[in-house]
Amino acid sequence: MASSRLYLDWNATSPLHPAAREAVLQALDLFGNPNSVHGEGRVVRAAIEGARRRVAALTGADPAHVIFTSGATEAANMALTPDFRMGRTPLSIGRLYYSAIEHPAVREGGRFSKANITEVAVTSSGVVDLDALRSLLAAHDTSAGLPMVALMLVNNETGIVQPIKEAAEIVHAHGGLLVVDAVQAAGRLKLDIRDLGADFMIVSSHKIGGPKGAGALVTRGEVLMPRPLIHGGGQEKGHRSGTENSLAVIGFGAAAHAAIEEFEERNQTLLQLRDRLEAGMRLAAPDVIVYGADGVRVSNTTFFTLPGLKAETGQIAFDLEGVALSAGSACSSGKVGESHVLTAMGHDPKLGALRISLGFATTDADIAKAVAAFTKIAARRKPAGEAA
């Protein structure tokens, strides 16, 4: 019996893509250790390397430059470190700079001390302030080490696309390294680590229809590398020890391949569905505020405030109507708090905002149901000025 509930929280996590599900089911019979030299081990190793090629294709990278991790958070902690090596020569990174709208996995700063982290402002349009970045890097004290800049390509709450190419030019002009969080961009934008100018790129399996428990740190080369976060048996060329999570990695590869194969049709469909959703919302509540609507966004995300309705109240109301959506990021242990993204953009965070995010299985009927729920909730909200 099909569920009557509607899932519209794809930016938090994606249901398994059918291709990923099938790949994982087949991989259940592959029991060998991928680091063993016998036949059983070689079969699993071949499957992992196939997945590596697929993730490399998704990110425009060389397969040799894909390091599998347990997820994007681990990849961020691996990349965000003051300790690097240029070949065998130690290289020090003196300070981390990240934008005010970054994901908590980046905002925690990885292995940098809090004293060596600087936040970069964003504009009211929700994009990193390139002039502010340029000024900060011009004032950077290189005697303490090189600067590192961490920026997301697509904001997880608003869906707004960041000017990464321009930022990369600024970062490299000042001798810095650029780490790009592409978690929300994978499958929604065509990625090419070289074309973007990123030195490192972070991607996640479960955001594109793969299993949870797998991610990757993608590098532009192999000469400049961070000190390993996890030491042990020397897997992943010594960059990330521990027996690979073969089931999750193989499913990740299948989801990456599906994202490439379905890219054009999927994004065209999602754009049409999102536009239909937002048109229905504006018809039901002309005062609805859709953030980033006048800028460049990915095709699947709508981040909105409905005046007179607090975010936590709205999330519960939609859930009672059978619609799963989120109040901003879903990566804070289920907490519904004020959005640091809204604050950074200069909006009043106390109003809060709700995020609807679509995915490969979203249909016209789903949009109609979402608009009906929105219309019902909007009609019973408190008048402006009253507490919701």
Active site residue ranges: 331
Give the CA dihedral 18, 24, 29, 35, nearest 10 degrees.
150
- Contact status, residue 77 vs residue 230, Cβ threshold 8 Å: no
List the structure tokens of 374.
Answer: 């929105």
Q: SS3 of 337, please?
A: coil
CA contacts within 13 A on the Cβ side of 146: 20
Q: Which of 374, 316, 384 is nearest to 351 (CA)?
A: 384
Query: At a CB cut-off of 8 Å and minimum separation 6, what does 362 contact?
Result: 8, 10, 270, 273
Q: Are 214 and 249 in contact (CB under 8 A)?
A: yes
Q: 318: which 2 tokens?
A: 């939609």
Strand partners, 297: 160
Cα dihedral 206/211/217/219 (nearest 10): -90
CA dihedral 190, 191, 192, 198 (to 10 degrees): 140
Q: Left, alpha or beta for 379 (phi > 0: left; psi -120 to 50: alpha)?
A: alpha
Instruction: List alpha helices for the chain, DSSP H.
Output: 18-27, 39-59, 72-79, 104-107, 130-138, 164-173, 193-196, 246-261, 263-284, 311-320, 340-344, 364-379
- Give the whole-angstrom CA distance, residue 295 versus residue 311: 23
Question: Nearest-CA neighbor of 98 among 153, 148, 143?
Answer: 148
Rounded to an integer, what distance in angstroms lies between the CA atom of residue 264 and that of residue 299? 11
